Amino acid sequence: MVDVILGLQWGDEGKGKIVDYFAPGYDVVARFQGGPNAGHTLYVNGQKVVLHQIPSGIFHADKINLIGNGVVLDPVTLMKECATVASMGVDYKKNLFISQRAHFILPTHRALDKASELQKGTDKIGSTLKGIGPAYMDKTGRNGLRIGDLLDKSFTSQYIKLRLKHQRLLDNYNFQEDISSWEDEFFEAVEMLRSFNIVNGEYFINNQIAQGKRVLAEGAQGSMLDVDFGTFPFVTSSNTITAGVCSGLGIAPQNIKEVFGVSKAYCTRVGGGPFPTELHDETGELIRKTGSEFGSTTGRPRRCGWIDLVALKFACMINGVTQIIMTKADILDALPELKVCHSYSINGVETNEVPFQMNKLDIVPVYESFEGWQCDSSAISTYENLPVKMKEYVQHLNQHLQVPVTHISNGPGRDQIVKA
């Protein structure tokens, strides 16, 4: 049996916290796509930690954590993360497993990511510069190196071949930076990786399922960043949606039961691309400040705006969401008025559908206003004690999306979550 937790917006919905919260009910937590572009924040005994590639179940000693084949892995970042979790008492050599089919992010992938972004003018993707796009390009272009290739004698010669190919591309970009220190770090990390649990991920996870173990698939990024269904070309390079779980872990779709979709009570986006409900005023500024909306991976300020039910309904449809987890409700505590976008007006025509080429359209969000609850909600632990106005807001989402909001997160802490 497999359940899924994934983001319904443009990432940073609070997936890390939610995975950590649900992990006790599972035996395996598995990442199925993305790489160190992800930044998943957890609070463990009051200490903040940001995970990039290690699944967010790692702080539960009895859980298996799998990095699936759909992930692109940077060994340098991984070693840093391992050092962090080890300093917090985690025995990662025991409960972290890596699929041999996961692809490497090479130093040149990072350089190519940077070079390609530098070359773009005003239409920058605003990538995390972690080498994600180039690594997935090498995967689909049938060039990439996989974790299992480490065991081949030809690993270094394969690397050198790819390195030459990448150098030609870098020369075309006129990229001058010296990346030899990145390469030194890379090979050092690759050596360390040899002592990790590198497994045949698809047999590994299917054996777990056959034994009746419960698997939680942890999404990275968000549905609106999906390479097929997101706001292309302002997207990431993987399938962030439920379908990605099957290809990213090697499991059949009928194993998937619950799909928990995580959404903020408002909306954020980091990097370039369309964002119809973005606020450019003091309310947007207030949300950014109150919600500490700065990227967990890059530190960039996140763009903030009202919740977008057109995009959310679309994400529920594409993912088959069975339950919604609404996060950061507490961030709206002080606001006297909240707005909810139900439809888009495009050239005077109203639509409830996410349009093709969103970036080329002038989209005016059509809002309904709600009264804010204007009280501190962060210490409340039962649904009945939540402010009436917050419950009305939640009920409105239930009705509109036709998917129940089953949990409301009202603070970053492990215990700050209310069951509806």
Enzyme catalytic residues: 12, 40
Dist CA 131 CA 105 (whole Å): 6
CA distances from 334 to 99, 267, 299, 375 (A): 46, 16, 25, 7
Q: How far lies 5's CA from each of 18, 88, 163, 288, 405, in Å?
A: 8, 25, 36, 24, 14
Out of ligand IMO, ligand GDP, Mg ion, none, which partner does residue 127 contact, by CB within 5 to 8 A per kind?
ligand IMO
Of residues 14 and 144, the one with the C-beta less far from ligand GDP? 14
- Residues 45, 233 contacting (CB under 8 angstroms): no
Binding of residue 409 to ligand GDP (CB under 6 A): yes
- One residue of 7, 34, 36, 39 binding Mg ion per CB under 5 A: 39
Q: Is 339 in the site for ligand GDP (CB under 6 A)?
A: no
Within 13 Å of residue 193, how many CA atoms lie on the same side as its CB? 28
Please list every residue from 260 through 299 that binds Mg ion, using CB under 5 A. Answer: 296
Interface residues toward ligand IMO, by CB under 6 A: 7, 10-12, 37-40, 125-128, 130, 132-133, 220-222, 225, 236-237, 270-271, 296
Structural contact between residues 262 and 13, judged by C-beta atoms closer than 8 angstroms: yes
Least gap, CB of 9 to ligand GDP (angstroms): 9
Residue number, 302 or 339, with CB nearest to Mg ion: 302
Whole-number minimum distance, CB 157 to ligand IMO, in Å? 29
> From CA 249, how far away is CA 50, in angstroms rounded?
23
Binding mask 287-326 for ligand GDP (x = CB under 6 A): ---------x------------------------------
* Residue 36 found at the interface with ligand GDP (CB under 6 A): no
Q: Which of 4, 8, 12, 315 binds Mg ion (CB under 5 A)?
A: 12
Q: CA 265, CA 277: separation in Å to the nearest integer?
A: 13
Q: What does the chain come to in residues? A: 420
Nearer to Mg ion, 12 or 226 (CB): 12
Encoded tokens for 389 = 């106005």
12 in contact with ligand GDP (CB under 6 A): yes
Largest Cα–Cα separation, the chain: 65
Say whether the peptide bond before residue 107 is cis (omega within 30 degrees of 0): no
Regarding 261 and contact with ligand GDP (CB under 6 A), the answer is no
* Interface residues toward ligand GDP, by CB under 6 A: 7, 11-17, 39-41, 296, 327-328, 330-331, 409-412
